[in-house]
Amino acid sequence: MRGHWNVNGTNQTFSYLTGYPYGVDFSRGIPYYNPGETTAVDLLRRGEADACLIIGADPGAHLPRRCNEHLATIPTIVIDPFVSLSTSFADLHIPVACVGIDCEGTGYRMDSVPIRMKKVLSSGLPTDEEVLSQILSRIRERRQPYIVSVQKPQSSEAPPVS
């Protein structure tokens, strides 16, 4: 899902990593791209998404009504510096620093030229990268295989004597 800031940066990142600019499906273990099937609008319209993590975007203001109606029925987390229409129906809004104001980072102009942005203020908010790294770390912790120790039941009867 493309956002309301640095839209081209998202396209550049996905294109660099997968060869596709948006609507990339990773569920098959490899990047799969088929607009009309794999975009956020496609999945939400068909009601296939069972949870949603929105990063730096406002689908509440930009996606079709049917998509937003589905978003309102599933667990939804928004990671964004700003309060938006999407944060109004989200289960959780995680405010983060804004690149070029609260933290440094890179933005892409619409002609794909990257611009390095410096921090101007200090809000004390984490960056989106820090929040996403913490989420990924916790997911990896929970995915660790559980070791189950099964003990042989001890019989109260004496073993047969031959």
Domain residue limits at 90: 7-96
Within-domain flag for 68: yes
Within-domain flag for 127: no
How many independent structural domains does the chain possess? 1
- pLDDT tens track of the chain, all 162 residues? 445 678 888 899 999 999 999 999 999 999 999 999 999 999 999 999 999 999 989 999 999 999 999 999 999 999 999 999 999 999 999 999 999 999 999 998 888 899 999 999 999 999 999 999 999 999 999 887 666 555 555 655 655 565
pTM: 0.81
Residues 6 or more apart in contact with residue 16 via CB below 8 angstroms: none
Within-domain flag for 30: yes
